[in-house]
Structure 1
Amino acid sequence: MITVSARNNAEWCDAMCRAHGNPGVFGERAWTSERRTPPLYPDAVTLAPDATAREVLEEIDREAPGCSVKDSFGRLDLSADGFDVLFEARWIYRPATLAAPAAPDDVVWRPVRTAGNLAAWAVAWSDGDEDLAGLFRPELLEDRATTVLAGTTDGGTRTVAGAVVSRSSSVVGISNLFGTDADLERAWAGCLATVTRFWPGTPVVGYEDGDSLTEAIRQGCVPGAPLRVWLAS
């Protein structure tokens, strides 16, 4: 399942890069981008446990600041190549056989369809950081495998939670999940209930750490093996 999850995550990274006019390349053992990717997104994602440091690093730009590598299987050691571990996380998997969680009654979850609503979603996700909010460009709305979900209140005027859903052939990936006021429990419940409604019978994958990992587990997600993100020092 890690291989499937890593591929799904790489497809989301590629979708983000395409929205910025810079698609990556899928190789046999890694997805890579020869140009610097948008902030918070890696320049390479390993797709197989036998991916080597050389075949990853030779395909990316190591000169411009901010080079990073997502080691999906936690097997690479890039310290000798000038990288430090930025963070570690755990893959998660929620079986399709599990029932949907009970979603909060006061929050309405629906797909984001317009550039204006996407901008509002991005402001809520970034907690008002204009630079980060600019990551989510309207071109994402044209990607058929990507759905941005917003949880709103007050008749749809206030975004209080959200997530990005990336659909692959056999799984649905969740990333960028957030809840305002750090209410991750309600965010996970609402998101998973919505995903179950829109894509029934499909397993959910992703990766999380910290409090978000804890809440995902409470909602039925099974923690898997660790992954590691390396950042050029």
Structure 2
Amino acid sequence: MIRNSSQSNILKHTVRSDAEKARICAANNADLYQAMFRAHGLPDQRTSAFWSSDAIAPPYYSNMTTLDPDATEEQLIEIGRLTDRLGRRPGFKDGFSRLDLVDKGFQLLFSASWIWAEPRRISARAPQDWARIRGAAALDRWEHSWKESGSQTDANIFTPALLSDPRIHIYGRWAADGFDAGCIVNRSTEAVGISNIFNLTGTLQVFGDAMSLATIAFSPEVPLVGCDSGATLNEMTKLGFRSVGKLRIWLPDDGS
């Protein structure tokens, strides 16, 4: 039997192990971190073992995220270097739950799952009332709504520089006074990531809309990935995502 290129691409994704998928999820997330830090004009570095930055991280972002479950020695060295550079222990994302740092001055903030959905074909029609954010004023209104959904910072996290990055799409659902839902979609070499989903109305349709937007934004030929826990993880699972690995977020145990 002869398969066309589309069938071959989808088949190629289905034979990946969960370990491979978790690596792809972690790499996609690191791409988002890199874009966010660079949009703030902050330096960063990346190796096969980790992504990191010596700068003060924006709220809700870590100074380091791991990319290889077996490179723990390199990662511990980088944690030490960042501690020296920053003058304090960094917050970081252990992308494969391989590091236990309770006895090294860290506390576990929370655990979550990398999630994965195989490529799918859908109608190339955007969900109703959603739009891509393209200007600074709209982004400001979007961030205001995002903060209303549970943020505890007054800092401006999402800068207009993000809007000129072709790998990043920010979407919002229009409401009378701005946006009542939103998400961010980012394209990597092997996956499209969905993050920062917020919803001020309580309607579960938002999760399906985010999935549709991610597929439409870049390509139906690549998997969708993300990082979720709790109720959001449950909703994404209902839409066809499944957990392919665990991650943990660590903070200094002094609360900084």
TM-score of the two chains, using structure 1 as the length reference: 0.89
Query: Residues of 1 paired with 2:222 and 2:52: CA distance?
Result: 27
Describe the superposition over 1:164-214 as per-residue Cα deviations: whole angstroms up to 9, x where unpaired. 11110121011111111343x221111111222222222100110111111
For residue 60 of structure 1, what is the aligned residue in structure 2?
82
Q: 1:149 to 1:49 in 2, by over 3 A?
A: same
Query: Residues of 2 paired with 1:43 and 1:59: CA distance?
Result: 11
Q: Report the residue type matching 1:85 in the other structure.
A: L
Q: Report the residue type matching 1:212 in the other structure.
A: T
For residue 30 of structure 1, what is the aligned residue in structure 2?
50
The within-5 A match list for 1:44-83 is 44-52=64-72, 53-61=75-83, 63-64=86-87, 67-83=90-106
For residue 192 of structure 1, what is the aligned residue in structure 2?
211
Range with greater deviation from structure 2 (69-78 or 139-148): 139-148
1:97 to 112, 117, 120: 120
SS of match in other structure, 2:201: helix
Unaligned runs of 5+ in 1: none
2:111 maps to 1:111: no
Deviation at 1:78, TM superposition (A): 1.4
Q: Report the residue type matching 1:126 in the other structure.
A: K
SS of match in other structure, 1:116: helix
Query: Residues of 1 paired with 2:165 and 2:81: CA distance?
Result: 25
Q: 1:223 to 1:130 in 2, by over 3 A?
A: closer
Higher radius of gyration, 1 or 2: 2
Query: Residues of 1 paired with 2:139 and 2:87: CA distance?
Result: 29
Mapped contact 1:15–1:23 kept (Cα < 8 A): no
Deviation at 1:64, TM superposition (A): 4.8
Question: What is the RMSD of the two structures over their aligned residues, measured on CA atoms?
Answer: 2.2
Range with greater deviation from structure 2 (61-70 or 160-169): 61-70
Query: Residues of 1 paired with 2:162 and 2:245: CA distance?
Result: 29
Deviation at 1:138, TM superposition (A): 0.9
Pairs aligned (count): 227
Q: Report the residue type matching 2:161 in the other structure.
A: E
Q: Report the residue type matching 1:117 in the other structure.
A: A
For residue 151 of structure 1, what is the aligned residue in structure 2?
173
2:142 maps to 1:121: yes
Q: 1:132 to 1:216 in 2, by over 3 A?
A: farther
Deviation at 1:65, TM superposition (A): 5.8
Range with greater deviation from structure 2 (49-58 or 61-70): 61-70
TM-score of the two chains, using structure 2 as the length reference: 0.81
2:27 maps to 1:7: yes
For residue 141 of structure 1, what is the aligned residue in structure 2?
163
Q: 1:2 to 1:130 in 2, by over 3 A?
A: closer
Q: 1:3 to 1:132 in 2, by over 3 A?
A: farther
Mapped contact 2:63–2:92 kept (Cα < 8 A): yes
Query: Residues of 1 paired with 2:163 and 2:89: CA distance?
Result: 27
SS of match in other structure, 1:188: helix
Query: Residues of 1 paired with 2:97 and 2:227: CA distance?
Result: 13
Deviation at 1:24, TM superposition (A): 1.1
Deviation at 1:93, TM superposition (A): 0.5
Describe the superposition over 1:70-128 as per-residue Cα deviations: whole angstroms up to 9, x where unpaired. 0000111111220010010011001103657x986xx4122110000100110111108
Q: 1:12 to 1:181 in 2, by over 3 A?
A: same
SS of match in other structure, 2:120: coil
Query: Residues of 1 paired with 2:231 and 2:148: CA distance?
Result: 17
Query: Residues of 1 paired with 2:69 and 2:32: CA distance?
Result: 19
SS of match in other structure, 1:113: coil
